[in-house]
Amino acid sequence: MARSNTELKELGLAELVEELRATKQEALNLRFRNATGQLDNNAELKTVKRHIARINTHIRAREIVLAEGGQ
């Protein structure tokens, strides 16, 4: 299940990377189910893509903070 934006803020970098890996796997499974006609709700694909983008945004923000001298 997708985590909320506030939950993502609380995760560490390693946890965000793991969440990204799991979400990308979920997106892959949804694409296969869509291709075979087994996906009932096509909006799930859009939701998962947005979640991936949200995770990537948090990861990039952490990288910027570390590059600027970190906290």
**Residue whose token pair is 């799930």:** 44
Task: Say if pTM beats, i.e. exceeds, 0.85.
Answer: yes
Structural domains in the chain, CATH included, are 5-67 (1.10.287.310)
User: What are the distances in angstroms from CA 5 to CA 12, 29, 48, 54?
Assistant: 13, 23, 13, 8
pLDDT in tens, 41-58: 999 999 999 999 999 999
Region 18-32: mean pLDDT is: 96
Q: Which of the four pLDDT bands, split at 50, 70 and 90, describes residue 32?
A: very high
